[in-house]
Chain A
């Protein structure tokens, strides 16, 4: 605020002279008038007749009666401010405005002599230097925000976006990253600045500034974050709606999850596959279900995720429109037991022409040979997740050379692996567990989930693995 008339009141001539010089040097205001007075009477006189807009009062000067001064100060209606300057105790400065001075402050001030010891440090709100702190902090926050946001945008944080649904999600991610940069900088810069600037110096016994709080500030930092989070929730709803936009022409794929495999059924073509093949730029309408426990369908490049639930009445859906050709993987994201980590299947995005060709190949592949058909069923039902066909060890016994073998069982008895034993082992796996394998690992569901003809063909396939 540009002051025009400044009155300096002090019985100490050095106080007035020094201050006058300093003001003239610092403010560089040609219209500035400064007067100096050194008695109580003169102060009151000048206040009434000259109407200064700022009075600088020597707080340590006992010759000036505060009660009288205050009475005069609050009574007038011309704009006027008083600055109390104390040289004795730590150079404290406090400014009061005639229009805003509250009775409580006035009372405080009058009572000061009595408690001058107790409160001498109480009002030192160093406005000018405080302003300086805020400017530096503001600049640092801007710099930090820019740097952190640059880093977050440039280190790899997300896999490539390969679906239409990934677009709105990535846009929201980007906004989140910016907000994180800003808020992180805001707190950390204030914190770091305080740590550097307001640190306790060795030998110093004083406490910090006596500031207990500020309600308007608290309201501001309640309301603004409230607005921000509501806005983000709104954006979240909008992008969620975009990921769920349905295309009536969508290709339906039934996704069946089980311990520990994925199976993909294409009801339009009558194909069952353990690889998910999708035509590019065509929405796939996934209907997800599970045979045993909860699994979760997640292709990170597609961004969207949905748990699969056991139960015919609990089929859930997900819509994915792949935009990038290539091979991805669906990875089970819900803890589902022993081999959860390995519950991954290829997801291949191809052109429409390639997709059509794949459909033809699949239909042709199901020839009449029971061994070949059995191999398809074994793969589609996840048998090969736990049983190897090349003799390597796995969760279950290998199928290579299994047929005709003599098994020792966990209860000590011995059986020969024939058709009948294999059938039992598939539909009632805990009845006769071979030694070295734990009971209860193989799901006891296949009697219901695989048609008997297919089970017999799987057995044919096992027999063929010599």
Chain B
């Protein structure tokens, strides 16, 4: 028993169950004292929230802070030497590389869960009529698919930035290692609460949770709200940590414009996450309170307004899509020069375009509301601001293409996914402007076209770059390379599968297929298209399965790598051993050049700082 409990995650789970039960008991007890009967919803909401706190206590995320409160000393993160081995990935660790890998596993776990939801409802959609799920279960699944994958994406970008940013900028760790671990372990119980929504009645609103529907939805809605609230908190704290790390922890000589481009993308993303996430937390909290306490924020008959929710919600949820894609676009810009063997074209323009997207991204939220019935005069200004996003996005595309021009392109597995990312994101990007102009949006809004467009941006801006990043940094984590053949099979199944799926969705959307419907009118003639989309969806799923097999098998059997396997100029490959040691760079490094001077012989990016005598 003692042995099993040394796995932090199990202590956390026990803590969550205890906390959850305590929350239910607390509310029921107070109600009993007031002479009121048991009521499930308030008891479970408080239970879910306390369960998350219980998990954090169980795993020891508060241990050092409690110690300080008692006036005890704790060792500095830099002095802690954690026992190497697989075990530390299952517990509380302060090493940013471990936390990065933990984030990646949580992300992939949620990707599998959320993707499986999609497979279930894709099968249902093959034929008209309801075959194997009920209407309510279908409606729950689409919302769960959406939010599970959104959390998966948030975890995925945290994985990439947590693992890579300190290495890229030559830091020993993140600025606040304890906060970093706290952010991660907050997301784990939150994810469990999210999945619990299925078992507590589900919810029939889709991931957007618009009131008044979300006020009438079953109790699963509340679990969804609690989960998003805490996952959002995790995201805010993670962003804060990354901003401080990037601004304060760079190696000597690394001026802002000598940072690897991925650090710029992470900085832009983190600024959005830090400043916008509160709004989704607030909007969901308001619905939750309307349900629990009868506060009528969104009830028109009591002086509220349902449109208010949509403004609050999209003020986060639109910038959120840039949170999701900017790190992926950063990965494209980061890896492209390595495999093209040529400097990144227009480094400063690419860096500034990330900040440009982040800034403009804050001014466009109401384009989700062109048909919502908000004040009509708002539609045209929001159309202008929305289309402006195309400009910095265009700069990225043109710069990538110019980077590849006259290169010596090497088609290793990460590069395949980079090319796939560019093409798929192009498809997502180009399907955006028709949605951005109001008059065409009147037709396309809430149609399957939006589904196709959104999935193309997420795959091009996140899924493909995530895979590229995993193939690329895998040797740094494990000391082994992932299998090339399986990697290629993964790519050549995923890409056509996805393109067919996404284009099919866009086409039937234009023809009149609504989104979020469990069944469709046979007279519209969409059965063949849905069959093809479902088959393509299964191709995507199968390719991911192959990837996962590769991921686990290569950890034991992959080709051993000790050197700079990609011949990258980045410091984690040039001066750091593989796999990366604890506390990163054993000797301090200094930046002496530009990051992407491929093609310039003799040029160097970093050098090991000579040890000063008498230091």
Contact = CB atoms under 8 A, between A and B. Distances in A.
Interface of A: 115, 117-119, 121-122, 130, 133, 155-159, 168-169, 172-173, 176, 179-180, 183-184, 187-188, 190-191, 194-195, 198-200, 204, 206-215, 217-218, 221-222, 225-226, 229-230, 232-233, 235-237, 239-240, 242-243, 292-294, 296, 298, 300-301, 303-314, 316, 329, 331-342, 344, 440
Interface in B226-250: none
A230 B373 contact: no
B394 A340 contact: no
A337 B216 contact: yes
When A and B form their complex, which 8 residue pairs have the shortest distance between CB atoms, in order from nearest? Answer: A311-B300, A236-B437, A300-B512, A208-B342, A208-B407, A210-B599, A341-B517, A229-B387
A309 B446 CA distance: 16
Interface in B337-374: 340-349, 371-373
Contacts of B419: 191, 195
30 contacts: A157-B507, A158-B443, A158-B510, A190-B405, A191-B401, A194-B409, A195-B409, A207-B342, A208-B340, A208-B408, A208-B409, A209-B342, A218-B346, A226-B388, A226-B391, A230-B384, A233-B387, A233-B436, A236-B380, A236-B438, A236-B439, A243-B442, A298-B514, A314-B305, A335-B205, A337-B217, A339-B135, A341-B517, A341-B518, A341-B520
Interface in B30-45: none
B306 A237 contact: no
Contacts of A305: 371, 442-443, 445-446
Nearest to B345: A213
B290 interface: no
Contacts of B507: 155-157
Given A233-B437, A333-B447, A340-B139, A221 B511 contact: no
A150 B280 CA distance: 43
Contact of B440 (A169, A312, A316, A342): A169
A281 B76 CA distance: 78
Interface stretch (B8-16, B158-166, B426-434, B532-540): B426-434
Nearest to A303: B443
Interface string B504-526: 00010011101111111100000
A338 B204 contact: yes
Contacts of A212: 343-347, 594, 596-597
Nearest to A331: B514
A337 B142 CA distance: 12
A239 B439 contact: yes
Given A198-B406, A207-B598, A340 B439 contact: no
Interface size class of B (residues with CB under 8 A): 35 or more
Nearest to B376: A244
B1 interface: no
A209 B596 CA distance: 12
A329 B600 CA distance: 65
Contacts of B341: 200, 206-208
Contacts of B405: 133, 190, 194, 198
Contacts of A340: 139, 204, 516-518
Interface centre among A209, A307, A310, A337 (most CB of B within 10 A): A307
A117 B408 contact: no
A198 B511 contact: no
Interface string B395-411: 10111011011111111
B582 interface: no
B390 interface: yes
Contacts of B379: 240
Interface string B311-343: 000000000000000000000000000001111
Contact of B433 (A158, A179, A339): A179
Contacts of B206: 335
A184 B426 CA distance: 7
Contacts of B217: 337
Given A190-B401, A191-B401, A207-B598, A172 B345 contact: no
B213 A294 contact: yes
Given A199-B411, A212-B345, 10 more contacts: A172-B439, A173-B443, A179-B433, A207-B408, A232-B433, A243-B442, A303-B443, A310-B212, A316-B373, A333-B514
